Amino acid sequence: MWLRAGNFVDKVKAWWASYLFQGTPSFILAKKLAALKLDLKKWNETEFGNVAYKKQQLWSKLNDLYTREETLPLTIEEKLEKVNLRTHIEKLTLLEEISWRQKSRVLHLKEGDANTKFFHRMANSNRRNSSIESLMVNGSLSSDQGEIVECFTQFFKELYSEQQVD
């Protein structure tokens, strides 16, 4: 949903660069993520607000126009407003659908699933799509899963290790 806002990625980059913390790399990462979470919550509230409530208000306005249209012909401005309301409702409906789709994935992660056939198909599909068949290791292409695992392990050990500065 947030990616639909044109300036989202730039805002996140700017926020991330503005956070200055001292400590170990893992401490700095945790603090930056916590600060980013707060900024994202504030931004979401100002950018989107309560989508369901906004949609409900627009439906109410649109229903008022339809009621008015039954008794008198609408003016040109009212007809334009009706078209704009419909367009805005469609956009909010799309945002709401995206939000619910994202929330449903989170619920699956938090609460799990009741061992259904659907859940197993999705898990297997995700595993197939997220596997690494081969990787360039030390200049040669390797498909040995043990070697790939060792390469990743070594990479992240080096990434998160601290170096002494004298």
Query: In this predicted structure, what is the pLDDT of residue 35?
Result: 93
1, 95 Cβ separation under 8 angstroms: yes
Rounded to two decimals, the pTM is 0.41
Task: Output the CA torsion sign for 99, 3, 34, 41.
Answer: negative
> What is the chain's mean pLDDT, rounded?
81
Query: In this predicted structure, what is the pLDDT of residue 31?
Result: 93
- Write out pLDDT tens, residues 91-141: 878 877 777 776 666 555 555 555 566 666 766 776 677 778 888 888 888
Q: What is the Cα–Cα distance from 132 to 141, expressed in whole angstroms?
A: 12
Domain ranges of the chain: 1-49, 50-111
Q: What is the Cα–Cα distance from 68 to 63, expressed in whole angstroms?
A: 9
